[in-house]
Amino acid sequence: MTTREVEHAITVSAPAEAVYRLIAEVRNWPRIFPPTIHVDHVEQDGNTERIRIWATANGEAKNWTSRRVLDPAKLRIEFRQEVSTPPVAAMGGTWIIEPVSPAESRVRLLHDYRAVDDDPEGLAWIDEAVDRNSRSELAALKKNVELAHAAEDLTFSFEDTVHIAGSAKDVYDFINEADRWSERLPHVATVRLEEDTPGLQSLEMDTRAKDGSTHTTKSYRVTFPHRKIAYKQVTLPALMTLHTGYWTFADTADGVAASSQHTVTVNTANITKILGDDATVEDAKNFVRDALSTNSRATLGHAKDYAEARA
């Protein structure tokens, strides 16, 4: 059987260790790979792991599973598809990050693959697809890793938790049934929820701010009944360049701890336009945190009322 081995590379204006960390720690993927909605660990054993990836393709959410072997000492990550789609018989490869200078690195992306039945036409199709996708992925990686590295000080996370004397299922159902939020949540004006594939949702809604104005946001959500809902916002308010998060529902001795976690990157270009000429990055962080936290706690408060009424 013919196994093809190819390599693509690009230079990134960020230290090698930082680039490796951003690729190795899958929680960063929604920041550095724009199509990625969420990545979950299925299995972990030392530096070997199995991950499930949810991402958009042509406006639709898809998911697949891959195995990886991490080598932080050598700044290498090996990966292998668990199930390949014809004409691909097998596909794997390696990320290799090499320092060029303290502030610059070379990212090499290696692939090895085989075609079903060693078909020459199939192999040619894979050659073209791997070449096109690798060039596109590395260009996006360069842009977004450089942005993510530069925005480390602009990125922050926080979490709100409400304790509820009810069941995790009822609280989960309230958050999952976002198509009913305009009836159940005063700060939601209108909502449009699509779930063509079970567990993969597209959520668009108009939310009322404290001053009475409304703004439209769109998110993709991945659901894990009845314990977690992860999301990535793709239509963002003006003060953010990134907003990801998740709702979690953990059983406790007297009910459930329901939490809302957010990770945000501040959009510095709009700070003075929205908050005034004297506003700082810290002012923007506080403003965003207050706005998101207010809505999250309001939602959790209504979920609490709903779940406790059913207990």
**DSSP assignment string, 229-253:** EEEEEEE--TTEEEEEEEEEEEEET
Together in a domain, 177 and 256 = yes
**Contact 307/164 with Cβ under 8 angstroms?**
yes
Domain range enclosing 48: 4-150
Together in a domain, 286 and 200 = yes
Together in a domain, 190 and 95 = no
Instruction: Compute the half-sphere exposure of residue 142: CA atoms within 13 Å on the CB side of its CA.
Output: 17
Together in a domain, 114 and 188 = no
Nearest-10 crossing angle of helices 281-310, 168-176: 120
Domain boundary among 150, 165, 180: 150
- Compute the distance between CA of residue 113 and CA of residue 167 in angstroms, rounded to an integer: 48
Together in a domain, 301 and 160 = yes
What is residue 95's predicted lDDT score, i.e. its pLDDT? Answer: 97
**Contact 92/110 with Cβ under 8 angstroms?**
no
Together in a domain, 242 and 158 = yes
From residue 258, alpha-carbon distances to 37, 55, 177, 227, 263 in Å are: 22, 26, 16, 9, 17
In this structure, what token pair is assigned to residue 274? 């929205």
Together in a domain, 170 and 202 = yes
Q: What does the DSSP 8-state code read for residue 25?
A: S
Sequential pLDDT tens for the chain (311 residues): 889 999 999 999 999 999 999 999 998 888 888 888 999 999 999 999 999 988 876 566 778 889 999 999 999 999 998 888 889 999 999 999 999 999 999 999 999 999 999 999 999 999 998 998 899 889 989 998 998 888 889 999 999 999 999 999 999 999 999 999 999 999 899 999 999 888 999 999 998 877 778 889 999 999 999 999 999 999 998 999 999 999 999 999 999 999 999 999 999 999 999 999 999 999 999 999 999 999 999 999 999 999 999 98
Radius of gyration of the chain (CA): 22
Q: The domain that contains 278 carries what CATH number?
A: 3.30.530.20
Domain boundary among 150, 179, 198: 150
Q: Which one, of 47, 89, 43, 33, lies nearest residue 66 by Cα?
A: 43
- Compute the distance between CA of residue 134 and CA of residue 196 in angstroms, rounded to an integer: 29
Q: How many CB atoms lie within 10 A of CB 167?
A: 18
What is residue 265's predicted lDDT score, i.e. its pLDDT? Answer: 94
What is residue 57's predicted lDDT score, i.e. its pLDDT? Answer: 65
Together in a domain, 126 and 212 = no
Together in a domain, 174 and 209 = yes
Q: Cα–Cα–Cα angle for 55, 56, 61, nearest 5°?
A: 85
Together in a domain, 158 and 294 = yes
Together in a domain, 86 and 176 = no
AA letter at 171: V
Domain boundary among 150, 179, 211: 150
**Contact 153/42 with Cβ under 8 angstroms?**
no
